[in-house]
């Protein structure tokens, strides 16, 4: 399974759109719907459940607004909160905001921690919280109201709310998995197209929770020129490398293994491997 960098994601997205394979709006719409589909697969019906969606003012926020609209269509009680000025939303994300409003989604604005606290208090307990604040292109520590959003989702997680991250938990670096002071700790992360390196590298891996990689219709694999290619060997891929054995095969017919390793005083690992 291929792991990509933030730059590679941008390159693949751009190539997908420029080739006419899909529009940016179509990719965003599929991404938001895939988040909701993953929630249904993992947690079951969402009818009447209380869902808070925290949206930034970039494309990740647009994905979240699509998810909010899809959740409302399924009968969930949804409140979307844009962290910052909604007028900063542009292009596809702005269209998703307008579509969510037209569909009757409750959309509020929070410019600071106090305003966010008021939105959180609109419900005595949230069943789910969706992190659509910052995406793979974010760098450095979240600041201002986004930092307040990270803290809010951390506290909701501690109180039992299930947290779902859109593409990547806010505060986790997409390339290194580094944590910028604090990060959202997700129960489920839905990645789009490819998993990112930060999904698998620690400490970020500990904040991702269950990872689902969703197909959103990106163009067939387009590698950035000169980019290194990193793969993760999954359990199913490793299983394909193992020879098949008959259930009644004798152990002496399975071949022999030579284990070479260790040094004086450092023989524990080879011994354990041999056993």
Query: Can you tell me the distance from the alpha carbon of 228 to that of 222, in angstroms, rounded to the nearest whole number?
Result: 13
SS3 for 144?
helix
The DSSP 8-state label assigned to residue 45 in this structure reads -
**What pTM does this model have?**
0.89
Q: What is the pLDDT of residue 74?
A: 99
Residues sharing a CB contact under 8 Å with residue 10, sequence separation 6 or more, in sequence order: 137
Q: Which two tokens stand for residue 135?
A: 């995406």
**pLDDT mean across residues, the chain:** 94
Model pLDDT for residues 9-30, shown as the tens digit of each residue: 999 999 999 999 999 999 999 9
pLDDT at 246: 84
Q: What is the pLDDT along the chain (275 residues), one digit of tens a residue?
A: 889 999 999 999 999 999 999 999 999 999 999 999 999 999 999 999 999 999 999 999 999 999 999 999 999 999 999 999 999 999 999 999 999 999 999 999 999 999 999 999 999 999 999 999 999 989 899 999 999 999 999 999 999 999 999 999 999 999 999 998 899 999 999 999 999 999 999 999 999 999 999 999 998 765 555 556 788 888 888 888 888 888 888 877 877 888 998 888 889 999 999 88
pLDDT at residue 207 in the model: 99
The candidate with the shortest Cα–Cα distance to 12, out of 220, 231, 230, is 220
CB 62 within 8 A of CB 92: yes
φ, ψ for residue 96 (rounded to 5)?
-70, -35
Residues 22, 31: Cα–Cα separation, whole Å? 13
**β-bridge pairing 50-55 and 128-132:** parallel
Which among 223, 161, 226 is positioned nearest to 194, based on CA atoms? 223
Q: Are 61 and 35 in contact (CB under 8 A)?
A: no
Which of the following CATH numbers is that of domain 2-231: 1.10.3720.10, 3.40.50.10260, 3.10.20.600, 3.90.400.10?
3.40.50.10260
Q: How do residues 129-185 score in pLDDT, each as one tens digit?
A: 999 999 998 989 999 999 999 999 999 999 999 999 999 999 999 999 999 889 999
DSSP conformation letters of 73-112: HTT-EEEEEEES-GGG--HHHHHHHHHHHHTT-EEEEESS
């Amino acid at each position: 399974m291929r792991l990509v960098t933030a730059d590679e994601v941008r390159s693949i997205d751009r190539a997908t759109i420029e080739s006419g394979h899909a529009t940016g709006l179509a990719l965003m719409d599929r991404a938001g719907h895939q988040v909701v589909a993953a929630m249904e697969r993992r947690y079951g019906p969402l009818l009447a459940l209380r869902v808070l969606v925290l949206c930034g003012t970039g494309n990740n926020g647009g994905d979240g607004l699509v998810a909010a609209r899809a959740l409302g269509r399924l009968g969930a009680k949804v409140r979307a909160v844009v962290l910052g000025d909604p007028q900063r939303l542009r292009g596809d994300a702005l269209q998703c905001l307008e579509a969510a409003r037209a569909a009757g989604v409750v959309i509020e604005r929070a410019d600071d921690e106090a305003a966010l606290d008021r939105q959180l208090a609109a419900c005595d307990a949230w069943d789910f919280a969706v992190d659509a604040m910052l995406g793979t292109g974010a760098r450095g520590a979240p600041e201002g109201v986004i930092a307040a959003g990270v803290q809010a989702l951390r506290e909701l997680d501690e109180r039992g709310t299930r947290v779902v991250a859109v593409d990547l938990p806010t505060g986790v670096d997409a390339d290194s998995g580094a944590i910028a002071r604090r990060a959202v700790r997700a129960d489920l992360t839905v990645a789009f197209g490819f998993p990112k390196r930060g999904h698998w590298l620690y400490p970020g891996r500990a904040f991702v929770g269950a990872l689902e990689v969703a197909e959103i219709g990106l163009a067939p694999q387009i590698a950035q020129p000169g980019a290194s290619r990193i793969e993760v060997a999954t359990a199913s891929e490793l299983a394909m490398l193992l020879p098949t054995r008959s259930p009644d095969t004798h152990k002496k017919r399975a071949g022999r293994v030579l284990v070479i390793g260790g040094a004086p005083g450092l023989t524990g690992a080879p011994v354990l491997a041999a056993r």
